[in-house]
Amino acid sequence: MWIGLYDRIVEAAWKTGTRFSGSSASETAFSGHAPSTVHIRWPAHYQWALASQWVDGILREFRRHATVEVTDLVQTYPGIVLFSVENDKEQHEIAIDYSDYPVINEECADRCALYFKMQYAKEGYAWTQVVPGGFVPGKSELYSFLPHVRALRDRRTFVHDVYGRFGRNFATEVRKQATGILGNQDRFGYEGGLSKVRYSRSLREVARSRLCIDLPGNGAFCFRLVDYFAVGACVISYPHSNRMPVPLVDREHIVYCKEDFSDLPDLCAYYLENAEEREEICLRSREYFDKHLHRRALAAYYFDEMIERLGRAR
């Protein structure tokens, strides 16, 4: 009970303090556009109410840089948000597919000028209008909490060597295998396992850990990965079968282990011992978030793709 109360007190203090607006790269991401020429029609209701977790951050940024009309648009497809964009009196349908699975909805892809796929398969798709859609953090509160957890990470007052908390509902066998390997060795400390804590506490735990472990959930990308990058963690990850708009580079933005986890303890031990290499990866992961995954940067990428696609369609 006292832990939960403490977490709420911390959250209240963070929410009334400084907000994280983004790096200079994300601040200027929309600077090349003339918002008055772009009109976006956005659905008043989603096919699945929880879709807001994936797309509302993008909508928020669209509203800052274009005319957005929220209206009754029919939402036909599971796991997809359909909206339309009008530029110079030409209107086109756009899809954001936030489904956890790498397959696309072919009927939807056929009707859309552009189809953003968040869990975008590395091998790509036959449809040229299907492009990588990036991914988003676990909660929008991240942006209130981020100045504080980044400051905590930058102090390097580490409590945990290796950290990773995971739920039991998705990729259960993979998660059991990885957490079992980490929990049953004595070369370094491991905090986490198959138990979850309040969001703000998990971010503080990430900030006070030398290394963080990323494992798949229902899809190859999890909210957890974006949270890690936002804080600026050194992430050791199960290999991703999907890709981001700007591909993640092994040993630069992230460290990939083998699928059977046979090298996981050795990789952890190496980056625990080699602090300079570890902290360089931390800088790169945070930079990657600021340039590509911050909601402002991700929305700017979507906007760029839409403007280019509409320009080609004329």
- Pair (162, 304) in one structural domain: no
- At 146-194, the pLDDT tens digits run 999 999 999 999 999 999 999 988 899 999 999 999 999 999 999 999 9
| CA-to-CA dists, residue 195 to 3, 10, 229, 299, 301, angstroms | 15, 21, 21, 32, 35
Is residue 123 packed enough to be buried (19+ CB in 10 Å), middle (13-18) or exposed (0-12)?
A: exposed
- Pair (68, 83) in one structural domain: yes
**pLDDT band at 10; cut points 50, 70, 90:** low
- Pair (277, 304) in one structural domain: no
- Pair (164, 68) in one structural domain: no
In a domain, 240, yes or no: yes
CATH number reported for the structural domain that contains residue 218 in this entry:
3.40.50.2000
**pTM summary value:** 0.91
- Pair (151, 275) in one structural domain: yes
- Pair (278, 309) in one structural domain: no
As for how many domains the chain has, the answer is 2
- At 218-238, the pLDDT tens digits run 999 999 999 999 999 999 999
- Pair (235, 302) in one structural domain: no
pLDDT value at 32 more than 70: no
In a domain, 116, yes or no: yes
Q: Return the pLDDT at 154.
A: 98
Domain span holding position 69? 31-135+295-313
- Pair (62, 51) in one structural domain: yes
pLDDT value at 314 more than 80: no
What is the rounded distance in angstroms from the CA atom of residue 63 to the CA atom of residue 158? 39
As a whole number, the mean pLDDT across the chain is 91
- Pair (110, 181) in one structural domain: no
pLDDT value at 22 more than 80: no
pLDDT value at 301 more than 90: yes
**pLDDT band at 12; cut points 50, 70, 90:** low
- Pair (256, 119) in one structural domain: no
In a domain, 24, yes or no: no
Q: Return the pLDDT at 108.
A: 98
